[in-house]
């Protein structure tokens, strides 16, 4: 029997249930209802048997009760996580009691050493030589990013000296710009890690053309995007959305001390009306 806690500002209620734990992949809830859950911190390192306090914030509901669950270690009714003695990556989830589809997850690396982590925000004047392509663009709305990449454009990130790990946490912002037509093209964005495909999804900014993202399904254009039309580009024949912004996290299995990560697009337009770019890339070696 699995136990978890429902916590209110004035106290807590102990609840127990039997069943599998479903884990989200971000620090903020992904639900179509008005209820939202935010959990901080969203990613953190904790030593074996150490503790970490987590804070859940519920908006859109008068009842701020959340249910705490964890894939390893324990979590108290106040959100205090106690790590197991075994190193690894664990997930703590806070789920709204008012709306079970509103939830948020913290990713906790339990390790006795500080995991390797590489961060590239592409806001500086130059790009690290770890990238094979270092071209940056500032959009009309003053957003600076790596790119743009057109047709079959790609860039490789080469990393070395990784601490011992079992997975890589690859987090990034993807800008899908122009008349991407998803599965009709297909217009696809792919990531390979040491030659193995880690991510491959189609995206669409055009009406009547579906996309596979998220989850390799069949979705209307723009599904899963966190923002639309933020870059400021204009087009002679504008698509349904001029650009879409996606925040993506993947966790491919990996244990080598070096990594070669390739971000690539497969686009059909040759006139520059389809492109993509990257911002806020963060790679972490998870135990």
Residues 6 and 132 placed together within one structural domain of the fold? no
Tell me if residue 151 falls in helix, strand or coil: coil
Q: Out of 94, 110, 126, pick the residue that ends a domain.
A: 110
CA distance 284 to 250: 11
Residues 136 and 35 placed together within one structural domain of the fold? no
Residues 126 and 146 placed together within one structural domain of the fold? yes
Residues 154 and 206 placed together within one structural domain of the fold? yes
Global pTM reads 0.83
Residue 24: closest CA among 92, 109, 96: 92
Residue 54: closest CA among 81, 87, 28: 81
Confirm if 201 and 211 have CB atoms less than 8 A apart.
yes
The DSSP bridge partners found for residue 207 are: none
Tell me if residue 211 falls in helix, strand or coil: strand
CA distance 118 to 136: 18
Mean pLDDT of 170-186: 97
- Res 32: pLDDT: 52
Instruction: Flag whether pLDDT at 21 surpasses 70.
Output: no
Q: What is the pLDDT of residues 83-136, one digit of tens each?
A: 999 999 999 999 999 999 999 999 999 999 999 999 999 988 899 999 999 999
Res. 14 pLDDT band, cuts 50 70 90: very low
Instruction: Flag whether pLDDT at 242 surpasses 50.
Output: yes
- CATH number of the domain residue 145 falls in: 2.60.120.1310
Residue 80: closest CA among 57, 54, 50: 54
Q: What is the pLDDT of residues 43-77, one digit of tens each?
A: 999 999 999 999 999 999 999 999 999 999 999 99
Number of domains in the chain: 2
Structural domain for 128, as ranges = 117-286
CA distance 149 to 187: 13
HSE toward the beta carbon, residue 220, CA cutoff 13 A: 4
- Res 25: pLDDT: 40
Residues 99 and 125 placed together within one structural domain of the fold? no
Strands of the 74-75 sheet, one edge to the other = 51-53, 80-82, 74-75
Res. 15 pLDDT band, cuts 50 70 90: very low
Mean pLDDT of 203-208: 95
C-alpha distance across the termini of the chain, in Å: 27
Residues 231 and 152 placed together within one structural domain of the fold? yes
Res. 27 pLDDT band, cuts 50 70 90: low
Mean pLDDT of 212-223: 96
- Integer Rg of the chain from CA: 20
Residues 90 and 206 placed together within one structural domain of the fold? no
Residue 180: closest CA among 277, 43, 61: 277
Considering the chain, what percentage of its residues have pLDDT values greater than 70? 89
Q: Out of 55, 81, 110, pick the residue that ends a domain.
A: 110
Which of 17-26, 213-222, 260-269 has the lowest average pLDDT?
17-26
Res. 173 pLDDT band, cuts 50 70 90: very high
Q: What is the pLDDT of residues 137-150, one digit of tens each?
A: 999 999 999 999 99
Res. 6 pLDDT band, cuts 50 70 90: very low
CA distance 90 to 175: 29
Res. 211 pLDDT band, cuts 50 70 90: very high
Q: Out of 110, 139, 172, pick the residue that ends a domain.
A: 110
- Res 265: pLDDT: 98
- Res 124: pLDDT: 84
């Amino acid at each position: 029997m699995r136990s978890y806690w429902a916590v209110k500002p004035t106290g807590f209620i102990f609840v127990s249930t039997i069943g599998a734990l479903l884990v989200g992949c971000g620090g903020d809830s992904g639900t179509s209802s008005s209820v939202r859950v935010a959990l901080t911190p969203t990613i953190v390192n904790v030593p074996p048997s150490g503790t970490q306090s987590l804070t859940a914030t519920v908006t859109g509901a008068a009842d701020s009760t959340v249910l705490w669950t964890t894939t390893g270690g324990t979590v108290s009714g106040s959100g205090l996580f106690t790590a197991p003695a075994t190193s690894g990556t664990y997930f703590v989830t806070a789920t709204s009691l008012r709306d079970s589809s509103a939830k948020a997850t913290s990713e906790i690396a339990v390790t006795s050493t500080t995991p390797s982590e590489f961060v590239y925000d592409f806001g500086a004047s130059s790009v690290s030589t770890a990238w094979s392509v270092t071209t940056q663009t500032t959009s009309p709305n003053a957003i600076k990013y790596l790119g743009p990449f057109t047709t079959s454009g790609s860039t490789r990130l080469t990393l070395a000296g990784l601490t011992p790990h079992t997975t890589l946490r690859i987090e990034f912002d993807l800008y899908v710009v122009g008349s991407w037509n998803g599965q009709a093209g297909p217009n696809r964005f792919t990531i390979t890690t040491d030659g193995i495909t880690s991510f491959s999804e189609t995206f669409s900014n055009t009406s009547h053309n579906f996309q596979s993202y998220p989850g390799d399904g069949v979705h209307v254009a723009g599904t899963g995007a966190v923002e639309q039309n933020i870059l400021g580009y204009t087009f002679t024949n504008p698509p349904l959305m001029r650009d879409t912004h996606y925040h993506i996290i993947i966790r491919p299995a990996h244990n080598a001390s070096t990594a070669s990560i390739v971000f690539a697009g497969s686009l059909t337009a040759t006139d520059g009306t389809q492109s993509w770019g990257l911002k806020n890339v963060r790679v972490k070696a998870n135990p």
